Amino acid sequence: MRGYELVVGLEVHVELKTKTKLFCACSTEFGLPPNTACCPVCQGLPGALPTWNREAIRLAVKAGLALGCRIRRVSTAARKQYFYPDLPKGYQISQGDLPLCEDGSLTVDVEGVEKTVGIARIHVEEDAGKLMHVGDKTFIDGNRCGTPLIEIVSLPVLHSGGEASAYLRALREILVACGISDCKMQEGSMRCDVNLSVRKEGDDSLGTRTEIKNINSFSFVEKAIAYEASRQIGLLERGECVLSQTRRYDEKTGETVLMRTKERADDYRFIEEADLPPIRLADAQIDAIGQEIGELPRARRRRLSEQFGISSEDAAILTSDPSLTAYFEEAAEKTSYPKLLSGLVLSELLRYCEGEEFSSPISAERMAELASLMGDGVITSSVAKKLILRLLDVDFSPGEIVEREALGQIRDEELLSGYVQEAIAEMPRAVEDYQAGKAAALQSLIGKVMAKTKGRAAPELTRQLLEESLRREGGNGDVLL
């Protein structure tokens, strides 16, 4: 960018999918009425003490393993001290020198190029409450206080908004696949802080960095990076200094803005969390957690592509939902035409599946049957589509129905020729257009034949017959495509 290089590191906060909070047994359910999931511990009442949540640690370790980290056998909690009305104890219990996970990495595809992004550390910490500013008052809801988070800190090795959002997408994919979080940015279960500095291309030293906090969508991350990089470069080009600041992204203006809160401490005065013992993890326990991980999305995509010969784009969609993947794999085992199957599922079935998680009204077996019928040349894709529609309402064996209702492809040349001649006679305009050189006009003629045959005309043969017919009738045979 204008002779400058961006240096970006991301700190991603992710809410863990536990039933209870990190340090107490209050519920973490989303959307509860305000201040109804609070107790002496999470509200910092005098004398209340925190207790570790085993499930939160399990999920954090699982995330660490899925991201290739080293897991610490003994890790400690630390207090990060600052004052803010959403922080009941006046400190956040987090981890300092001895976090749970360190030195991992994530391989990411950025516009077809592979990039490995180093992950410095992953640690657990508790979330703060929610504030609402109305008029001259601020209202506090303590429900979110104490919700378990992991903070995933990348190395500053990203160099563009595109790389950043690719990294975030890959991160989310793994965390969702492993059941660690639902990573819904709009609900706040995944938040991103960006650390950004710029330097002249070829320069080794790092410029002063700014922090942009709490960005809650991938596209805003890209925009914030673009704006901030531009802002910093602008300053440097004018001979001014970049100040080390904490900023936020303003969605309306698309700019980053200095955060006005002076109430944040600049020195967190970390201190050992003496109300909690360190956690000791045994090798066997870590291994057991690792066993639960299974195939990661990237590996699964590759395998699907190789095993079934489907494109990486299609593989990406099929692996975007674990239920969809399972469905596809079940069906793929039952047909010799997985590629056709994937096409059917992606373009015809998905649109009829409602709900956030994939679930199909048509069984995998039936879809496999359809793919096979198509692959064997028994039915056209047009008929397949119609059968899918019918299968949405009632289950039946496609093979049987095709036979019973004579839905098979029409390959009889004589019969087809009849339809072809009818279509030509009924659509003089299309014929004219085609003969004038508009190749696309052929489609409407094919469509006409299809309509007449209720989708059963063998498409290639129909095309062939039409072309032959029109050439004979037409002009000098020059067809401009």
Partner 1 sequence: MRDWLFRTVGEHQAAMRANEYSSEDLTRAFLRRIEEKNQEIGAYLTVDAEGALCAARASDARRAKGELLSELDGIPYAAKDNFSTKGIRTTCASKLLEHFVPPYDATVIQILKDAGAVLLGKLNMDEFAMGSSNESSAFYPTRNPYDPSRVAGGSSGGSAAAVSAGMACFALGSDTGGSVRQPASFCGVVGLKPTYGVISRYGLISLASSMDAVGLLTHTAEDCRLLLSLLAKRDERDDTSISLSPLPIPKGNLRVGLLEGEGLASPAQREALERAKERLAALGATVLPFTLPSPHKALAAYSVLMSSEASSNLARFDGIRYGSRVDHSDGVLNLYTDTRGELLGKETVRRILFGSYVLQAEHRADFYERARVFRQEIRDRMLASFAEFDVILSPTTPTTAFSVGEIRTPTQMYHADLCTVYANLAGLPAISLPFGTEEGSGLPLSIQLTAAPHGESVLFSVASLLECPQSAAWEVRV
Partner 2 sequence: MGMATLSEQELLSLAARCRIHIKEENRARLLWELEGMIAFSSVLQTEESEACDSYAFSHEPKNYGELRADEIGESLERDALLALAPMTEDCYLCVPRTLED
CB of 371 to partner 1, least distance (A): 56
> Which value, to the nearest 10 degrees, does the dihedral of the CA atoms of residues 81, 83, 89, 92 take?
-40
CB of 329 to partner 2, least distance (A): 31
Residues paired with residue 247 on neighbouring β-strands, in sequence order: 212, 258
CB atoms within 10 A of CB 274: 9
CB of 260 to partner 1, least distance (A): 12
Mask: binding to partner 1, 81-100, rule CB under 8 A, as x and -? x-x-x--xxxx---------
Query: Does 137 contact partner 2 by CB under 8 A?
Result: yes
Tell me the window of 18-26, 309-317, 392-400, 421-429 that interacts with partner 2 (CB under 8 A). 18-26
From 380, 381, 13, select the one nearest 185 (Cα to Cα): 13
Nearer to partner 2 by Cβ, of 279 and 420: the residue is 279
Residues paired with residue 132 on neighbouring β-strands, in sequence order: 139
Distance of CA 162 to CAs 165, 184, 210, 276, 380, Å? Answer: 5, 20, 19, 41, 41
Query: Does 76 contact partner 1 by CB under 8 A?
Result: no
Give the residue, chosen from 4, 20, 189, 196, that forms a contact with partner 2 under the rule CB under 8 A. 20
Query: Does 79 contact partner 1 by CB under 8 A?
Result: yes
Give the residue, chosen from 29, 40, 307, 376, that forms a contact with partner 1 under the rule CB under 8 A. 40
Structure tokens at 124: 């657990």
Nearer to partner 1 by Cβ, of 30 and 270: the residue is 270
Residue 299 interacts with, from partner 2, partner 1, none (CB under 5-8 Å by kind) = none
d(CA 171, CA 164): 10
User: What residues have CB less than 8 Å from 271, skipping those under 6 apart?
Assistant: 78, 79, 81
Q: Are 135 and 126 in contact (CB under 8 A)?
A: no
Query: Does 18 contact partner 2 by CB under 8 A?
Result: yes
Query: Does 418 contact partner 2 by CB under 8 A?
Result: no
Query: Does 48 contact partner 1 by CB under 8 A?
Result: yes
d(CA 171, CA 352): 29
Query: Does 283 contact partner 2 by CB under 8 A?
Result: no
Q: How many residues touch partner 1 (CB under 8 A)?
A: 34
Computed on alpha carbons and rounded to an integer, the radius of gyration of the chain in Å comes to 30
Residue 397 interacts with, from partner 1, partner 2, none (CB under 5-8 Å by kind) = none
Q: Are 20 and 126 in contact (CB under 8 A)?
A: no
Mask: binding to partner 2, 41-60, rule CB under 8 A, as x and -? --x-x-----xxxxxxxx--
Q: Find the length of the chain.
A: 481
Task: Identify the H or E element spanning 132.
Answer: strand 130-134
Residue 131 interacts with, from partner 2, partner 1, none (CB under 5-8 Å by kind) = partner 2
Residues paired with residue 117 on neighbouring β-strands, in sequence order: 106
Query: Does 211 contact partner 2 by CB under 8 A?
Result: no
Q: Which residues bind partner 1 (CB under 8 A)?
A: 40, 43-52, 79, 81, 83, 85, 88-91, 136, 138, 140, 142, 262-263, 267, 269-272, 274-277
